[in-house]
Amino acid sequence: MGGLFHKLRHPRRCYVVCTIPRSGSNLLTDGLRDTRRAGMPKQFFLPKAEARYAAELGIDPAVDYAAYVRGIVNTKKTRNEVFGFKLMSWYLDDFLARLRAAHDFGNSKTSDHELLCSAFPRLRFLRIVRRHKLRQALSTARALQTGLWKVQKDKSILREPQFDPDLIEQSLHEAERQEKIWDDFFRRIEIKPFKVEYEKLCHDYERTIHAVLNFLTIKLPAGAHVGPPVTTRQADEISRTWEERFLAERPSAYSPASG
């Protein structure tokens, strides 16, 4: 049910990390989660991930999506009442449609911004982008082949990646399409998100995490500090070789000046 009771049961601060694949969102969200003060941001509303979280809650999202949303917010927050989640552009429309269909957060006349703020009070928007679009496409092409979207010690690849210029170029265009979805969304709701640049996050990790915490008005306890990154970067000699080869074979497909 909506109304005052619904708002009182929600944390004081909510935020969403808006992203597309291979933008460095894991590096950002893992860093925020590691502070133990910024929620536990994951893709709780990714359709294929909902079954696991729903089982933990004992709630069927297909029957009561509003209860699932509230259950996630109430159980995936940190002690200081902060909840965060990650959202990819490719399922943004589906997520908004399901929130609207729940009827607890709004109706057909409710704007997307109002809908989200009803489900996630005091919602703030973060957006992480990658300036070097070719390296992002290379990372995507590689992950599509290996099945490894997050480098972890206990995970093995499906198969060895092979240089595929068609797949790389396709990944470039797909990234452009998905970024445009976010561009259009923020233009529609008239919100300017706090932007995090992946390259800056890598170059000055601690300062960037602190900047995000400041935006979210989250203070770390006295004496606490931001630890080293817990996410391993994928870039290596294979990535560098692929980049040089793609630029040599497809010079018109990508302009370094554009990203």
Report percent pLDDT > 70 for the chain: 88
Write out pLDDT tens, residues 198-212. 999 999 999 999 999
> Over the stretch 127-157, which tens digit does the pLDDT of each residue have?
999 999 999 999 999 999 987 766 655 566 6
Instruction: Classify residue 151: in a domain, yes or no.
Output: no
Residue 127: domain span: 3-132+175-229
39 burial type by CB count under 10 A (0-12 exposed, 13-18 middle, 19+ buried)? buried
Per residue in 209-244, pLDDT tens?
999 999 999 999 988 889 888 766 666 888 999 999
Whether 168 maps to a domain, the answer reads: no
DSSP-derived letter for residue 178 is: H
Residue 44 lies in a domain: yes
Residue 144 lies in a domain: no
Q: What is the pLDDT of residue 4?
A: 47
> What is the pLDDT of the chain when averaged over all its residues?
91
Contact predicate 16/123, CB 8 Å: yes
Residue 213, amino acid? L
Residues 6 or more apart whose Cβ sits within 8 Å of residue 204: none
How far is it, in rounded angstroms, from Cα 104 to Cα 73?
15
Q: Measured in Å, how far apart are the chain's first and last C-alpha atoms?
A: 46
221, part of any domain: yes
Confidence (pLDDT) at 155:
62
Which residue did the predictor score with more confidence, 222 or 75?
75
d(CA 99, CA 110): 11
Q: 46 vs 152, which has greater pLDDT?
A: 46
Q: Which pLDDT value is given to residue 38?
A: 97
Q: Is residue 159 part of a domain?
A: no
Q: What is the pLDDT at residue 9?
A: 52
Residue 63: inside a domain: yes
Domain of 102: which CATH number? 3.40.50.300
Between these two residues, 69 and 223, which has the higher pLDDT value? Answer: 69
Q: Where are the beta strands (DSSP E) in the chain?
A: 13-19, 82-88, 123-129, 194-197
Task: Confirm whether 254 is domain-assigned.
Answer: no
Residue for token digits 């590096």? Answer: 27
Whole-angstrom distance, CA of residue 46 vs CA of residue 249: 36
Q: Is a pLDDT exceeding 50 seen at residue 54? A: yes
**Distance separating alpha carbons of residues 116 and 251, to the nearest angstrom:** 42
Structural domain count of the chain: 1
Q: From residue 16, how far is each of 55, 85, 228, 240 by CA, in Å? A: 23, 5, 23, 32
